[in-house]
Structure 1
Amino acid sequence: MSATSDNQTGGIYDVIVLGAGPVGQNVADHARAAGLSVAVVERELVGGECSYWACVPSKALLRPVIAVADARRVDGARQAVTGRLDTGRVFARRNRYVTDWDDTGQAEWVKSIGADLFRGHGRIAGPRRVTVTGDDGAHHSLTARHAVAIATGSGPALPDIPGIEEARPWTNRHGTDSSSVPARLVVVGGGGVGVEMATLWQGLGSQVTLLVRRRLLPRMESFAGELIERSLTEAGAEVRTGVQVTGLRRPDPAGPVTLTLDDGGELEADEVLFATGRAPATGDIGLDTVGLTPGSWLDVDTTCLVDGVDGDWLYALGDVNHRALLTHQGKYQARTAGDAIAARAAGRPVDDAPWGDHATTADQHAVPQVFFTDPEAAAVGLSAEQATGAGHRVQVVDVEFDAAQGAKLYADGYRGHARMVVDLDREVLLGVTFVGPGVSELLHSATVAVAGEVPLKRLRHAIACFPTVSEIWLFLLAAYRRD
């Protein structure tokens, strides 16, 4: 990565994008497709957190762990699994998928769509103005005719605990770019990052202890966390719920770290990984120059325009608007906002009605998410608790996966659970959750059903192939009809 800009001139553009991760790339692509000139600003690697420290490396590392677990669930294949994972090859596989942290290919893609790439720290300098400071101190002044899109993402939020600086804890970045396996690893946090990191490093050979304040995956149906906790425990990890870390000690930088817990006990590990939330990467991007608070999440309307900024020019996409800290959801917002920017630039009407061309309606109704644990947990829409809390009159339908012949063939003793939450007044789905091996590939069908508000009377005519895991739909719908 060069230290300064790939474009040395600065100047006036229709659209300026802060952040060249998947979200920034998508809004740039849609703006360019509409014929708008675009400048993209990136202070780290083009491709962002997702490409180098989050989605891509974590899934590249998790796949060998899950593949071995799947093989062990099939008689005949189980007997062929005779050794441990080759961690060197697992890390090498990860390195291939992150292109050895070389962003040349993604930088070339940005330029291939006709956008100008500026490398350096971008800061808003007032309405429609951005300054870029390169690593060498060079400055570039950019002006946007129509829009500035903030797509700077988020970073790990570490708790304010005595000794945390001395302990030098891992975050998601250390958890995905490290190439050595700690003998003992404590993971703090039971959300998506926490359970995936516990699954990953236990599979690679660490003795993992997972510390959780409440329960695993607290925003999903409770059975998701229960099944994952059971599986982690069976794999040899220790899961401790209802505990908090109150202090850390690591007097020898090369030695172990000691954790003090709120129950008065202590725990020693070779490394500790905190997965305790995210903070918006908006602390030093000039928000104060347009009346916003540095370091804050940014509230937006349905087209992703930032609230409280006059002139319809400032957009916030992806993690920074705090709607759904998921790459695919940020890319959806970016595509939608990119089209809205183009419409406003051309003076065309903006279709921001629910489910309109320029409305991010799915942010409120049909957000899909998958955690690549063992078993996988996948959900879209509202949980039963969320639906009831929102005032819907619902029916909850639960089915065990072993009802489906396809699941039994997929894995001997297949263990999993499916739930759909039905809006009784309209007879459409408000939410669906699957937990089990391989269920991530079932989720899009549920997303189509929820986003499309497909009537259950019609959905029963969508026939699942025999014998596949997707036969679970037949049993869910049959259970609803019986009830």
Structure 2
Amino acid sequence: MTDAAEYDVVVVGAGPVGENVADRTRAAGLDTAVVEDELIGGDCSYWACVPSKALLRPAIARADARRVPGLAASVQGPLDAAAVLARRDEKVGDWKDDGQAAWLDSIGARLYRGRGRLHGPRSVSVDGPEGEHHLLTARHAVVIATGSRAVLPDLPGLTGAGAWTSREATSAQQVPERLAVVGGGVVGVEMATAWQALGSRVTLLVRGEGVLPRMEPFVGEHVVDSLKEAGADVRLGVSVAAVDRPGGHTGPVSVVLDDGAVVRADEVLFATGRAPRTDGIGLGSVGLTDGAWLDVDDTCLVRGTDWLYAVGDVNRRALLTHQGKYQARIAGAAITARAGGVPLLETDRWGAHSATADHAAVPQVVFTDPEAAAVGLSLAEAERAGHRVRAVDHDLGSVSGAGLYADGYRGRARMVVDLDREVLLGAAFVGPGVGELLHSATVAVAGEVPVERLWHAVPAFPTISEVWLRLLEAYRG
């Protein structure tokens, strides 16, 4: 038996992005339903942002403390791995979503637990966990916010070998004695940092010649140097050819490289790519390709439709929770405006209904030791885009605030200046604590603040933020 119900908006996916859409549409008075087949709160809350940072925070705090005389001698021992894992479990609510479900109820959104699938235009069918069936119709919009999933490469021996993806890496209950990490992106370097600090002997295997390839090259160089100093075995320019685990999901695993070398480990993490969670959600019923990334305009409306929106990872604009939540705010405003009959949306550059920052000012922090942070375009990206640019660099270790933050502080900062308009196109930082520098850079890039005006934004003494003054002085010459 199928229960039928009608809503103004139906959101498929209740991670942070879907939750934010529901929050915006409910605040505007639109009747909203939310569909989720896993935990309310999504990957970010249970298998990504929250647990990974809970694992990394003790490692970073200890590293910072070891750089401060008078404190360093007190933190020379190993981390209490059991306590770190217990705190991680607490931060993810022991993988229970009662609180998140209660929040959805508090804003007046109706929650349907089960697998949601498009069932033709403006229609979503839901198969519940107890065999119940619902058919939901949306008067104004259906929003796809189902996120992405880790992809394992097609390698001999990998199927059935019990390899970790990001989910297992952030939820493991035991510290493996030896961990092989394949991939030099954010997940790879963050998990290498965390598990090395927790006591694993980590081998990081990277196909390219550096890590964090979307950031400035010097950022990855600092991160690699630090991982090596911490005891990790970092191998660049290598590829995995096969995996051999005779015991199936348990026991030692051998990672065979393309040059014949073998890395032996107790667990292997593959952090080698993501795919959209759009397979099996009925895209074919509305003329779209099952399992595909969804192409959207700047209001997050799926091109070729006037009712289907895609926010977060599924549209591939920026696979970051904070950008997905930003898109959710934009989409929520656009849905509300269109439902209210607004004839002309603010879709001009930086308009209220335009996710312009996805193109120009995407910020990201990587919580390694040292931290890495960047916003906007790198120097290489700016040059490829045809801008006439100048990169201005400064040694963060020479900034007085950095010297007080930690003895022997090592880091670097760069701003990329558009010489024709004299505004920042991008900025990048690497060093302890630099994540807190990023929002000022994001404001400068998103706001297109002229360099001559940035000169009057005075950084407080003695903080690491003084690097802004040094960068501007170097630019002025």
Q: Tell me the TM-score range normalised by the shorter chain.
A: over 0.9
The yes-or-no answer on 1:261 pairing with 2:257 is yes
Supply the AA of the counterpart residue of 2:405: Y
Q: Distance in 1 between the 2:356 and 2:160 partners?
A: 44
Name the structure 2 match of 1:404.
399
Name the structure 1 match of 2:197.
203
Structure 2 gaps, min length 5 = none
Name the structure 2 match of 1:97.
91
Name the structure 1 match of 2:322.
328
Q: Distance in 2 between the 1:146 and 1:315 partners?
A: 11
Name the structure 2 match of 1:234.
229
1:304 and 1:316 in contact (8 A); partners too: yes
Q: Distance in 2 between the 1:354 and 1:290 partners?
A: 30
3-state SS, counterpart of residue 165 of structure 1: coil
Match of 2:135 among 117, 137, 141: 141
RMSD across aligned positions (CA): 0.9
Name the structure 2 match of 1:5.
none
Q: Distance in 2 between the 1:412 and 1:269 partners?
A: 35
Write out per-residue CA displacement over residues 40-86 of structure 1, whole angstroms, 9 at most, x where no aligned residue.
00000000000000000000110001000000011111011142111
Name the structure 2 match of 1:383.
378
Q: Distance in 1 between the 2:436 and 2:449 partners?
A: 19
Match of 2:300 among 301, 304, 322: 304
Q: Distance in 2 between the 1:413 and 1:10 partners?
A: 65
Q: Distance in 2 between the 1:190 and 1:62 partners?
A: 17
Q: Distance in 1 between the 2:347 and 2:367 partners?
A: 34
Q: Distance in 1 between the 2:160 and 2:269 partners?
A: 14
Q: Distance in 2 between the 1:355 and 1:102 partners?
A: 38
3-state SS, counterpart of residue 159 of structure 2: helix
- Superposed displacement of residue 166, structure 1: 2.9
Q: Distance in 2 between the 1:52 and 1:264 partners?
A: 37
The yes-or-no answer on 1:286 pairing with 2:264 is no
Name the structure 2 match of 1:480.
475
Match of 1:46 among 28, 40, 47: 40
- Superposed displacement of residue 9, structure 1: 5.3
Q: Distance in 2 between the 1:288 and 1:336 partners?
A: 26
- Superposed displacement of residue 151, structure 1: 0.2
- Superposed displacement of residue 403, structure 1: 2.2
Name the structure 2 match of 1:3.
none
Q: Distance in 2 between the 1:343 and 1:241 partners?
A: 50
Name the structure 2 match of 1:366.
361
Write out per-residue CA displacement over residues 109-144 of structure 1, whole angstroms, 9 at most, x where no aligned residue.
011101100000000000000000012221000000
Q: Distance in 1 between the 2:245 and 2:130 partners?
A: 36
Q: Distance in 1 between the 2:173 and 2:58 partners?
A: 15
Normalization by structure 2: what TM-score?
Answer: 0.98
Match of 1:458 among 442, 453, 460: 453
Name the structure 1 match of 2:146.
152
Identity %: 67
- Superposed displacement of residue 402, structure 1: 1.7
- Superposed displacement of residue 10, structure 1: 4.3
The yes-or-no answer on 1:194 pairing with 2:181 is no
Normalization by structure 1: what TM-score?
Answer: 0.97
Write out per-residue CA displacement over residues 178-221 of structure 1, whole angstroms, 9 at most, x where no aligned residue.
11100110000000000000000000000000000112001110
3-state SS, counterpart of residue 396 of structure 1: strand
Supply the AA of the counterpart residue of 1:294: D
- Superposed displacement of residue 267, structure 1: 1.4
Q: Distance in 1 between the 2:50 and 2:223 partners?
A: 22
Name the structure 1 match of 2:108.
114
- Aligned pairs (5 A) from 1:442-457: 442-457=437-452
Structure 1 gaps, min length 5 = 1-7
Name the structure 2 match of 1:24.
18
1:403 and 1:475 in contact (8 A); partners too: no
Q: Distance in 1 between the 2:416 and 2:464 partners?
A: 20
3-state SS, counterpart of residue 242 of structure 2: strand
- Superposed displacement of residue 430, structure 1: 0.1
Write out per-residue CA displacement over residues 391-431 of structure 1, whole angstroms, 9 at most, x where no aligned residue.
10001000000221000000001000000000000000000
Q: Distance in 2 between the 1:142 and 1:24 partners?
A: 17
2:296 and 2:302 in contact (8 A); partners too: yes
Residues paired across the two proteins, number: 473
1:14 and 1:147 in contact (8 A); partners too: yes
Supply the AA of the counterpart residue of 2:117: R
